[in-house]
Amino acid sequence: MELVKIENNDIVISEDFIKDYKNFQKIKLEMDLKEKEFKEALKEAMESIGKTEILLNGFSATYRKGTTKTTIDSKRLKAEMPEIAEKYSKISEVSSSVVIKCE
């Protein structure tokens, strides 16, 4: 099955693929949310009994304590020290891409 064709200078996308893609996105979102719910419940459970490792039939979970990280507030840096922000800015290439949205 050809997913994308050019016909008469127009782009034709396989309707079967669009249907499959929409189904996939729906299932993916459901699973993403299920995974987040699972992780949250597991974290709460591990914290409540102080367990840091779970190993179960090829499945493992490791509890990692919350920590802090230091980042640079680039918005503030640009506003308060624009010349420093400019000096340490770099331009990198961003490849062209296609953004797909479906509902």
Q: Site residues (CB under 8 A) for another protein?
A: 22, 25-26, 29-30, 32-33, 36-37, 40, 103
- Rounded distance between C-alpha atoms, residue 6 and residue 93, angstroms: 28
State the minimum distance, in angstroms, from the CB of residue 73 to another protein.
16
Nearer to another protein, 15 or 44 (CB): 44
Q: Which backbone phi and psi does 89 adopt, to 5 degrees? A: -90, 150
State the minimum distance, in angstroms, from the CB of residue 6 to another protein.
30
- Rounded distance between C-alpha atoms, residue 1 and residue 51, angstroms: 50
Residue 3 is given by DSSP the state S
- Coil, strand or helix at 13: strand
State the minimum distance, in angstroms, from the CB of residue 29 to another protein.
5
Nearer to another protein, 38 or 88 (CB): 38
List Cβ<8 Å contacts ≥24 apart for 5-10.
none
Nearer to another protein, 16 or 37 (CB): 37
State the minimum distance, in angstroms, from the CB of residue 103 to another protein.
4
